[in-house]
Chains A and B, each alone.
Chain A
């Protein structure tokens, strides 16, 4: 994975650069909380730089390195409840995520 120059340090989180909700969610629920927390702690403070950087591009025509960075940002959205709400990867006492299917999204890059 290659990220834009100023975000190269985040390339160590390549495993989180996943294109679909299903994959990002599966990554979240199959990760240890320490791994999630490490990813969150590295990403969250950078978001104020990442989002304006990404938003310079047309969302439907992003260069590959920016697209990978967007996928990391979307993974941050995926793990946010694990960190901010539950302090564990899955929803506390929740319905099995694997029984909850995500269908393809329309109108989304």
Chain B
């Protein structure tokens, strides 16, 4: 028996005994008290990916990300010096939202309530009828409240902790280094989808890091593209402290669907002009499997970068709104199409991704609704659901660390 054949029959959970094997309690998915702890210990302390630098390509361009989980809204803006900064989107006069739309462009940040104006670096530069204040406004102390902001490979992260315990680089660690050099910024065509989903944020994260549901949940759509059992189809699983990584092979016997075939034949599904032969950073298809289909990079707490064939990547983020509600966002990036056939191929891939996601989201809501029934109190987890175990463990560790502070 060859190594690869032996490999396929090792259950993945046996390689990570430290994750435990017992069924997990439903408590973290339903408890308002637990959610309150997560808000502070996880979302209040970790680096969170809010947009890409391509969302604010030029000085004066801004992007707003509402963070209901932290009762704030973050304004990302590129300064005249080219630096991307983050601020609470809160006017320091009477607390109005400074930027009202999700994105825009300006020479200065002007609050429309009383007209206070801030420079692109957040400094307060204009107070209308300043003489009308009996105490002079201390402009130096009334700039927009800065939020720790940093970028990695064009992804903009913020940290709402006033004193982050780790730099972004430390937070991402070796996990992210493996992906450095991937041509994210060249894949500039961008479809974006959003939906409010009535489930706990971890139920939704789990739906996209679960290899076990594929064959049943996606039986009409994606299932044929994969091998079925995670033992057989997963090429690699790695844990990087809080983050996790899965590389999966596809089904070599898969016959493309008729319209997928059109996209393959005419549409430049791959982008060889962007990807030279040695394009893959070490973190992409790390086993260099010839049957490689996808890598799922799960950034704690709530972001995915999923890589498929060269020329594409998907970013998913999941933003809690309440213990049983969250905002789903999918951004699907590809190389800009050079011709109509490529445009068609991109539409096809985007639509199939979208419809597969619709298969997941309805189930997430069913699950959450049933968690209130009292008819189930724990989940037995399959080897394909190892990442759900890891997510729970890391959240728990964050909460414990917070309680020790």
- Listed from nearest, the 7 A-B pairs whose CB atoms lie closest are A54-B340, A95-B361, A80-B259, A107-B189, A55-B339, A94-B358, A51-B341
**A7-15, A30-38, A85-93 - the one binding chain B:** A85-93
CB < 8 Å neighbour of A84 from B258, B354, B361, B365: B258
Residues of chain B in range 177-195 having any CB-CB distance to chain A below 8 Å: 188-195
Contact assessment for A107 and B336 in the assembled complex, using a CB-CB cutoff below 8 Å: yes
Chain A interface: which of B121-129, B168-176, B279-287, B344-352? B344-352
CA distance A100 to B362 in the complex (A): 11
Q: Which of A61-109 contact B (CB under 8 A)?
A: 62, 66, 70, 73-74, 76-78, 80-81, 84-86, 91-97, 99-109
Would A77 and B351 be within 8 Å (CB), given that A100-B195, A101-B195 are in contact? yes
Distance between Cα atoms of A51 and B265 in the complex (Å): 10
Interface size in chain A (residues, C-beta < 8 A): 42
| B338 and A59 contacting across the interface, CB-CB below 8 Å | yes
As a 0/1 sequence over residues 185 to 219 of chain B, the CB contacts with chain A under 8 angstroms (1 = contact) are: 00011111111110000000000000000000000
Please pick, from B267, B355, B365, the residue contacting A51 in the complex, using a CB distance under 8 A: B267
For residue B190, give the distance in angstroms from its CB to the closest CB of chain A: 5
Question: Are A70 and B192 interface neighbours, CB within 8 A?
Answer: no
Indicate if the CB atoms of A70 and B189 lie closer than 8 Å. Answer: no
**Chain A residue nearest to B360 in the complex (CB):** A95
B58 at the interface (CB under 8 A from A): no
Chain B residues, CB < 8 A from A66: 340
Asked if A77 meets B344 with Cβ closer than 8 Å, knowing A85-B221, A86-B220, A95-B362, the reply is yes
Cβ-defined contact, A94 with B359, below 8 A: yes
CB <8 Å contact, B189 and A105: yes
- Subset of 18 A-B contacts with CB under 8 Å: A21-B191, A48-B262, A48-B266, A51-B344, A54-B340, A59-B337, A66-B340, A70-B340, A74-B343, A74-B347, A77-B344, A78-B351, A80-B259, A93-B363, A100-B361, A104-B192, A105-B189, A106-B190
Question: Do B358 and A97 touch (CB < 8 A)?
Answer: yes
B260 → chain A closest CB, angstroms:
8
The distance in angstroms between the C-alpha atoms of A77 and B342, with both chains bound, is: 12
List, in ascending order, chain B residues with CB within 8 A of A104's CB.
192
Given the interface contacts A59-B339, A62-B340, A94-B362, does A44 sit within 8 Å of B259 by beta carbon?
A: yes
Determine chain B's interface SS by DSSP, over half rule: helix
* Residues on B with beta carbons closer than 8 Å to the beta carbon of A99: 195-196
Judge whether A47 is part of the interface by a CB distance below 8 angstroms. Answer: yes
> Could you tell me which B residues sit within 8 Å of A by CB distance?
188-197, 220-221, 257-260, 262-263, 265-267, 336-344, 346-348, 350-352, 354-355, 357-363, 365
Cα A76 to Cα B360 with chains together (Å): 23
> Which A residues lie within 8 Å of B346 (CB)?
108
Residues of A within 8 A of B194 (CB): 100-101, 103
Contact indicator B340/A55 (Cβ below 8 Å): yes
* A74, chain B: closest CB distance, angstroms: 5
CB–CB B220/A85 < 8 A: yes
Check B347 against A78 for contact (C-beta < 8 Å).
yes
Return the chain B residue nearest A93 by Cβ: B362
Known A77-B347, A103-B193; contact A51-B358, beta-carbon cutoff 8 A: no
Contact (Cβ within 8 A) B190 A105: yes
Query: A44 to nearest B CB, angstroms?
Result: 7
CA distance A102 to B127 in the complex (A): 39
What's the minimum C-beta distance from A56 to chain B, rounded to whole angstroms? 8
**A48 CA to B261 CA, complexed, in Å:** 11
Contact partners of A92 in chain B: CB under 8 A: 220, 359
Beta-carbon contact of A95 and B195 below 8 Å: yes
**Contact, CB under 8 Å: B340 / A57:** yes
Cβ-closest chain B residue relative to A104: B192
Would you call A85 and B338 a contact (CB within 8 A)? no
Q: Are A76 and B358 closer than 8 Å at their CB atoms?
A: no
Contact A80 B192, CB 8 Å, known A54-B339, A55-B339: no
With A59-B337, A77-B259 already in contact, the answer to whether A106 and B188 are too (CB < 8 A) is: yes
How far is A62 from B358 in the complex, measured between Cα atoms in Å? 33
Closest CB of chain B to A7's CB: distance in Å? 13
A48 cross-chain contacts in B, Cβ below 8 A = 262, 265-266
| A59-B337, A80-B259, A94-B362 given; 18 more Cβ-contact pairs under 8 Å | A52-B341, A55-B266, A59-B338, A70-B344, A74-B347, A77-B344, A77-B348, A78-B347, A80-B260, A84-B259, A86-B220, A91-B355, A95-B195, A95-B357, A95-B358, A95-B362, A101-B194, A107-B188
- Closest chain-B Cβ to A19's Cβ sits at a distance in Å of 12
- Complex Cα distance, B345 from A70, in Å, reads 12
